[in-house]
Structure 1
Amino acid sequence: MTASAIPPTAGEKAAGLLAVCLAAAAMPLTFTGPAVALTEIGRTLGGSPIALNWVTNAFMLTFGSALMAAGALADHHGRKRVFLIGTGAFALVSLGLVFAPNILWFDLLRAGQGLAAAAAFAGGMAALAQEFDGHARTRAFSIVGTSFGVGLSLGPIASAVMIDAFGWRSIFWLVLALVLPSFLLATRVLRESRDPAAKGLDWAGAISFTAALSLFTYGVLLAPQRGWGDVRVIALLIGAVVLFAVFGLVEKRVARPMLDLTLFRYPRFVGVQLLAAAPAYAFVVLLILLPIRFTGIEGMSVIAAGQLMIALSAPLLVLPILAGLLTRFLSPAIICGIGLLISAAGLFWLSGFPVGTAHGLIIAPMIMIGTGISLPWGLMDGLAVSVVPKERAGMATGIFSTTRVAGEGVALALVSAILSALTAAHLPAGSAKTAQRLATGDLAGAKTSLPGVPPALLVQSYSAGFETLLLLLTGITVLTAIVVFLFLGRGAQAAKAALPECSVSVGD
């Protein structure tokens, strides 16, 4: 690692952490804000339903697919430099979105915003990994996790207030209000560092991986609309498999791979990647599914649904910091595993409340789900960099973040498709399209498509499908917790024994 010869002061470290936290808080606003404003965006810019879907999907696709390449670039060209390029581009693209003339330009700028977010996130997290060590690093990453949680929790409410007062374009001014101070602060206090052994970006690996993940994500996102047997969906998924195979061959042959495949020999590394995907199906999908259920199926107002969702997201405002403090007494693996079990218990509890249940009764299980996922939320990034040599922190952050962000996009598409299939199982044969309408909260459209079926049966079918889905998510979350206990709960001596081997494999 190369960095300034003068050690940073405590104040400089805190200021650098604040710069990364401001950027981290802005990123979820770019996901939740446009989702809240989607109807208004469509009215202003026009566009087909598919074009409007890309308002969200374009950002998630480029963000998730570019993170690993951004981490490799940060290791080679400098973590501070990549962070500044990312935050600067993030600000410029957000400004462009304010003035987007049509839906095509808007979607293209959203894709660019995802690329900028990848650079900012990978560079910032890798830079922090060089400034903090041990428990201090764990606490720093827990604070970043809390900042991300603040943006995720308050994003819908803050965006709704801005939209109501100033119009939907104002949500991007809110993003600028966070990103610009982050850029200016990092320019002054963040130290430059890089991996001296890095030899540049593995372009063949980066292109093949990004293309493979893009095709896979696009195929999964397209499947609920066209069906898994659609020729285009099949072609996209086959193309993804081929490109992933190409990526594997490339990484085995290059001297300095972007992803050292030998890392997957280590249970701790595999466990961290599974942990990265856990919030997607234990928490993030509920941020989308529950508002659809509340407003589309149960008829709640948007404001009332937003207030109820606070029960799910509010724990993220505080508990990630508490989890960081608990690492003085318990290992991060134990805390993460316990958190996942708490979330699983909340999911199981919530499955017992069918559609139409008094909303006051479901607040407690929602709080339990949010509480459980908040415990690993601020610790996962620290674990990601702890299982590889410090010099490859950018790579570790990129891999971990890729798994997490790409997992969220894939999980949303898969869970929607599963909910549709589970709902269709309780409807008359040939009701797949009706089930898809119910899964998206279009109860009126479902009634029109099946005029002979009582509306109560439609709601009951959706409710039964939603219950089964929650039970499925419960089981997956429990299994992930078990893997975390087994793979990450190894002693420090075992972890140290693995790292020298890992150092040789990724460093030469």
Structure 2
Amino acid sequence: MVTVTNSSPVGSDPRRWWALGALVASMLTLGFDTTILNVALPTMAERLGATTEEQQWMADAYIVVFAALMLPAGLLGDRFGRRRMLITGLGIFLVGSLVGALAGDVDAVIAARAVMGVGAALVTPLALSVLPSLFAPGERTKAVGIVSAGSTLGLPLGPIIGGWLLDHFWWGSVFLINLPMAALGIAACVFLLPETRDPASPRVDVASAALTAAGLGALVYAIIEAPTRGWGDPLVLTAFAAAAVLITALVLRERRVERPMLDMTLLAHRGFLFNTLAATLVMFVLSGLLFVLPPYLQVVLGHDALGTGVRLLPMMGGLIIAARAAQPVVARFGARAVVSAGLVVLAFAALLGSRTSVDAGYGFTVLWLSVVGFGFGFSVVPAMSGALGALPADRAGSGSGLLMTLRQVGGAIGVALLGSLLAGAFRDRLDVTGLPAGVADTAGDSVVAAHVIADRAHADSLAASANAAYVHGMGLVLLVCGIAALVSALLAAAFLPGTRPGRPADADAEEAGPAVVAARADARQ
């Protein structure tokens, strides 16, 4: 039973559309915050002296915390009030953004990003779960789609907004822009949203949440630190072992709990398992690409921050167009064929991109970048819909939570693993002959650092070597992405179940509850 502290019938309050607009603003902020930092990283690396590893942590601190806390955050809203926890999440996100804007060193930025991840983990599931208290069933799917569209629209807006801010203000402005948006969301929650809760929801399992956060944190730490310390370094090996133990403990605990937070038995459904793997891989590749591309466009090709953001749009455009077109194509050819074909297109684009040379210029980049977007869209949309469609209606809520969590985990590991591959390849290829040992070490930290040293020393050869080393590392990253996408395409073609005839894309959505409606709407946007 859901308790609603509001006497007005659901769907009758004229203020509900104003409330929806504020929720969209909140989700838009979270959406462009996902990509806005990628454009800012080269500038922040120069101003703060951040190494590639530290840049990875600035990106991953947000994603790891987000992934670890999203499921318990939803349960907190069910038990203690969704409006209350939504306000709390927006407040935490606002505080983290303020700390980030005022940060003076790398550690403060990483801490601020982690705090923002806590807030985002509360806001994302709860912004969707409050909609049933505002909208009647006839309007609910439309409202969920609008909120999800706000989050998706933020992805292409992030690089453009971030680029414009960096061209006109200091780097902290990419955090400061969140403040008015979060404040608007808080005001709307206070004055427009009714309070709802579900006393029958399972208790928040603090131990499972702690195991999730610690296990993911140890895994990401090991992957990020390995290129610098060495894969055989005792600290790196200890972190890998700790991650294995913690994640194993989490799985064993969740299998024994009567109402688990992460229902691992869902992976026994073949359609859910392989579609989820496909969707997770897409996030792995997307997050890695958005990490390695901005320094190439901004440092190697020499574009300013705004120009870098604009030049990322072909990938976002291809993604949005393909996501819109995916459902009709699935209806004609079936999800298995479309997911497999989308992954093949993604593999082709990544392998084509791996042939990028220092002299290739942006013309070649826009070609493979556009194809990458189409591959993403045609693989992730039917994969997410297929994953949820493979589950019984009464398991769709827990299934959508597990799917979204694994997608975030894929993103975190993508930044960590692909960023580490790039860092190691760059350091190995960079020619630092003639530089003092300390300066050579600094130059090897990142392509930004190498260019700063080259500018100060008027060493054109160092800048040229840095460009060549970075393009080589980016090529290796794209090669790995292409091979992984191709293997996934073969697995999808071999193991994904065929489409069930006569079942519409949103069948059982209302019975399954707002979680599955949200996930499917998010997939379509």
TM-score w.r.t. length of structure 1 = 0.78
Change (3 A) 1:411 1:40: closer
1:487 and 2:496 aligned: yes
Q: Any unmatched runs of 5+ in structure 2? A: 434-439, 513-525
User: Distance between the aligned counterparts of 1:12 and 1:379, measured in 2?
Assistant: 34
SS of 2:496 mapped into structure 1? helix
- Determine the structure 1 residue equivalent to 2:518: none
Q: Go from structure 1 to structure 2 and tell me whether the alpha carbon gap of 1:489 and 1:135 turns closer, same or farther (over 3 Å shift).
A: farther
1:82 Cα deviation after fit: 3.5
SS in structure 1 at match of 2:357: coil
Is 1:108 matched with 2:108? no
1:86 alignment partner, one of 89, 100, 110: 89
Q: Write the distance in 1 (CA, Å) between the matches of 2:313 and 2:280.
A: 22
Show the counterpart of 2:376.
Answer: 373
In the TM superposition, what is the alpha-carbon distance from 1:384 to its structure 2 partner? Answer: 5.8
Cα deviation 1:404-457 (Å, max 9, x = unaligned): 2222121122113334566788899x9xx99x9497466659999xx9x99978
Q: Provide the alpha-carbon RMSD of the alignment.
A: 4.5
- Measured after TM superposition, the shift of residue 248 of structure 1 is 2.0
Name the counterpart of 2:167: 164
The aligned amino acid for 1:479 is V
Relative to structure 1, is the Cα distance of residues 310 and 421 closer, same or farther in structure 2, using a 3 angstrom cutoff? same
> Could you tell me how far apart the structure 2 residues matched to 1:267 and 1:191 are?
39
Give the C-alpha shift of residue 104 in structure 1. 4.5
Matched, 1:60 2:69: no
Residues 237/164 of structure 1: CA separation in 2 closer, same or farther (3 Å cut): same
Code of the residue aligned with 2:65 in structure 1: it is: T
Residues 124 and 390 of structure 1, relative CA distance in 2, 3 Å threshold: farther
Query: CA–CA distance in 2 between the matches of 1:318 and 1:101?
Result: 40
Question: C-alpha distance in 2, partners of 1:369/1:426?
Answer: 27
**How far off its partner does 1:356 sit?**
1.2
1:73 aligned to 69, 76, 100, which one? 76
Report deviation, 1:397.
Answer: 3.9
Match of 2:313 among 310, 315, 334: 310
- 3-state SS of the aligned residue for 1:362? helix
Q: 1:286-338: CA deviations, max 9, x gaps?
A: 22222223344445554544432222223345554454676776766665544
Contact 1:25/1:150, CA 8 A, preserved across alignment: yes
Specify the alignment match of 1:254 in structure 2: 257
Contact 2:60 2:415 in 1 (8 A): no
Could you say if the C-alpha distance between residues 467 and 34 of structure 1 is closer, same or farther in structure 2, counting changes exceeding 3 Å? closer
Mark the CA change 1:462 to 1:182 in structure 2 (over 3 Å): closer, same or farther: closer
TM-score w.r.t. the length of structure 2 is 0.76
Q: Conserved in 2, the CA contact under 8 Å of 1:71 and 1:123? A: yes
- The 1-side partners of 2:37 and 2:468 are apart by 31
2:342 maps to 339
CA–CA distance in structure 2, aligned partners of residues 198 and 370 of structure 1: 39
Residue 274 (1) aligns with residue 277 (2): yes
Q: Which position in structure 2 is the counterpart of 1:117? A: 120
CA distance in 2, matches of 1:136, 1:88: 29
Partner of 1:182: 185
Identical columns (%): 25
What is the CA-CA distance between 1:480 and the residue it aligns to? 2.9
Deviation for aligned residue 1:379: 6.3
Contact 1:79 1:127 in 2 (8 A): yes
- Aligned match of 1:476: 484
Instruction: Say whether 1:411 aligns with 2:414.
Output: yes
Post-superposition shift, 1:66? 1.5
Q: What residue number does 1:265 align with? A: 268
* Preserved contact between residue 419 and residue 469 of structure 1 (Cα < 8 Å): yes
Cα offsets for 1:110-139 (capped at 9, x unmatched): 211111101111223445589899998887
CA deviations over 1:126-159 (Å, ceiling 9, x no partner):
4558989999888766655543333222212212
Pair 474,314 (structure 1): closer, same or farther in 2 beyond 3 Å: same
Q: Distance in 2 between matches of 1:462 and 1:197?
A: 54
Match 1:283 to one of 275, 278, 286: 286
Is the CA contact 2:266–2:399 (under 8 Å) kept in the aligned structure 1? no
Which of 341, 353, 367 is matched with 1:350 structurally? 353
Shift of 1:163: 3.2
Moved more, 167-176 or 418-427: 418-427
Query: Relative to structure 1, is the Cα distance of residues 323 and 356 closer, same or farther in structure 2, using a 3 angstrom cutoff?
Result: same
Q: For residue 62 of structure 1, give the secondary structure of its aligned residue in structure 2.
A: helix
CA gap of 1:320–1:113, structure 2 versus 1, over 3 A, is same
Q: Is the 8 A contact 1:385 1:393 kept in 2?
A: yes
Return 275-284 or 248-257, whichever deviates more: 275-284
Instruction: Tell whether 2:369 aligns with 1:361.
Output: no
| 1:506 match | none
Q: Is the 8 A contact 1:145 1:379 kept in 2?
A: no
1:18 Cα offset (Å): 4.3
Say yes or no: does 1:401 pair with 2:404: yes
Deviations 1:48-85 (A, max 9, x none): 88666543332222122222322333444454543333
CA distance in 2, matches of 1:138, 1:341: 32
Is the deviation greater in 282-291 or in 383-392? 383-392
Q: Name which of 214, 217, 222 aligns with 1:214.
A: 217
> Whole-Å Cα distance in 2 between the matches of residues 122 and 79 of structure 1?
10
Alignment of 1:377-456 (within 5 A): 386=389, 388=391, 395-419=398-422, 437=444, 440=447
Task: Give the Cα separation in 2 of the matches to 1:136 and 1:324.
Answer: 21
Instruction: Show CA shifts across 1:4-51 (max 9, x none).
Output: 594436977766654443323212433444444456657877888866
Q: Amino acid of the residue matched to residue 477 of structure 1?
A: A
The 5 Å alignment of 1:12-27 reads 18-27=21-30
Of 143-152 and 247-256, the range deviating more from structure 2? 143-152
- 2:152 aligned residue: 149
Q: Compared with structure 1, are the counterparts of its residues 48 and 349 closer, same or farther at alpha carbon in structure 2 (3 Å cutoff)?
A: closer
What is the number of residues matched between the two proteins?
492
Distance 2:270 2:136 in 1: 22
More moved, 385-394 vs 464-473 = 385-394
